[in-house]
């Protein structure tokens, strides 16, 4: 018998992000935005929810003067 799907993952965008991240070692925000075709604001909110729930880890760093977020 299958375990019930966490309601947090019922969101189409959050499920898409999880699917993408399962297929790569890591992905930055721009990559996820391109793959999901989500707006930056919506993607950021959904990533924060996944991070707070412990599904993903977010690492923020700088490349030169540009901020880079690895999700």
CATH number of the domain to which 24 belongs: 1.10.10.10
2 in a domain, yes or no?
A: no
Q: How many domains does the chain have?
A: 1
Are 53 and 64 in contact by the 8 Å Cβ rule? The answer is: no
Both tokens assigned to 32 = 């996820």
pLDDT at 70: 62
- 44 vs 70 pLDDT, higher one: 44
45 in a domain, yes or no?
A: yes
- Give the bridge partners for 60, in sequence order: 69
pLDDT at 12: 96
Q: Over the stretch 8-55, which tens digit does the pLDDT of each residue have?
A: 999 999 999 999 999 998 899 999 999 999 999 999 999 999 999 999
Query: Is the pTM here over 0.75, yes or no?
Result: yes
Question: Dmax of the chain from CA atoms?
Answer: 50
1 in a domain, yes or no?
A: no
Per-residue DSSP letter, 53: T
Domain boundaries, position 37 = 7-70
pLDDT at 2: 82
Quickly tell me which residue has 């890591």 as its tokens: 26
pLDDT at 31: 93
Beta strands in the chain (DSSP E): 59-63, 66-70
């Amino acid at each position: 018998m299958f375990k019930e799907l966490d309601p947090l993952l019922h969101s189409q965008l959050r499920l898409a992000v999880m699917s993408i991240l399962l297929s790569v070692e890591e992905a930055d925000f721009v990559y996820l935005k391109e793959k999901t075709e989500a707006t930056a604001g919506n993607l950021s909110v959904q990533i924060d929810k996944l991070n707070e729930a412990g599904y993903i880890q977010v690492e923020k760093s700088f490349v030169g003067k540009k901020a880079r977020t690895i999700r």
